[in-house]
Amino acid sequence: MTAEPGQKVVEISHVTVRYGAFTALHDVSLDVTQGEYLGIIGPNGGGKTTLLRSILGLVPISGGSISICGKAPGKTGMLVGYVPQFANIDRSFPVTVREVVLTGRLTRSRLPFHRYSGADRAAADAALQEVGIGELASRQISGLSGGEFQRMLVARALAENPKILLLDEPTASVDAKSRRQIYDLLGELNRKMTILLVTHDMMAVSSRVHRLACLNGGLVYHGEPELDRNTVDALYGCPVDLIAHGVPHRVLKTHGEDR
């Protein structure tokens, strides 16, 4: 399936997600167009990961609808690639980088214990080259740095040759140099695919994404990656001071009355 620039590839309409009596998302509506780079920000517990998992079909929605290129969540095949949170992967497991990336070629229709094909292996190696760690293919994952580990997870998602890439906190627990490298990589990937990025790194990402979606249970803001102070305060539920650490950014609009 090839979408045209400007065509909606993700359509989220009045989505509500509940975990028992707790409402994680309430009445969220937004669209993502082909080739867009969307940053999703908000406080802990604001529903960011829940939104990604709902798009993937991993979390059932309680109300509303989600469409990915006209397909229902969980029915998209290899159309969508996913990079989970860093903390969800056991780094002590005895497996090589290539073996992890190869799991990106698995689909629900394949039997356990199947043998990977030559095409699978070629796709995994190509993905490792694309993220810049091809020389680490045979290394045990326990020997990777934080930045290398995150690149491996991106490569696993790319092994599917997806059209849409979802990432959940890909720069968590990595150093500043690795963060910049990962953001640079995502900028390159965005040339050929749509990206939805969940992050707490509001200032760094605001200079790179096309639009921001701000979540705190509901959708607080969806638009240009330049926020006013009222929106930021509403997003986090209190006045917020933003501090940068050497990363070019522009998050807040200029306020003539602020001193």
Q: What is the pLDDT of residues 202-256, one digit of tens each?
A: 777 888 999 999 999 999 999 998 877 777 777 776 555 554 444 444 444 444 4
Residue 45 zone, left/alpha/beta (φ > 0; ψ -120 to 50; rest): left
For CA atoms 155, 157, 161, 162, the dihedral sign is negative
Beta carbons within 10 angstroms of residue 75's beta carbon: 10
Model-level pTM? 0.86
CA distance 247 to 243: 10
Mean of all residue pLDDT scores within the chain:
87
CA distance 79 to 34: 13
pLDDT at position 77, please?
Answer: 85
Helices and strands in the chain: count of H runs, count of E runs: 7, 9
Query: Which of the 8 DSSP states describes residue 26?
Result: E
End-to-end Cα spacing for the chain = 51
CA distance 59 to 218: 17
| Residue with tokens 């990977």, as numbered in its chain | 116
Distance of CA 1 to CAs 6, 56, 176, Å? Answer: 15, 17, 37
**Per-residue tokens: 92:** 């002590």
Please give the domain boundaries of the chain with CATH numbers for all domains: 8-89+163-236 (3.40.50.300)
Phi/psi for 205 (5° steps) reads -75, -25
* Spatial CA neighbour of 110 closest among 133, 78, 142: 78
Which amino acid, residue 150? Q
Burial of 119 by CB count in 10 Å (0-12 exposed, 13-18 middle, 19+ buried)? exposed
For CA atoms 186, 190, 193, 194, the dihedral sign is positive
CA distance 250 to 151: 26
List the pLDDT tens digit at each of the 259 positions of the chain: 556 667 999 999 999 999 999 999 999 999 999 999 999 999 989 999 999 999 999 999 999 999 999 999 999 988 999 999 866 678 888 999 999 999 998 865 555 667 889 999 999 999 999 999 999 999 999 999 999 999 999 999 999 999 999 999 999 888 989 999 999 999 999 999 999 999 988 777 888 999 999 999 999 999 998 877 777 777 776 555 554 444 444 444 444 444 3
- E strand or H helix at 236, and its extent? helix 229-236
**Per-residue tokens: 259:** 């001193």
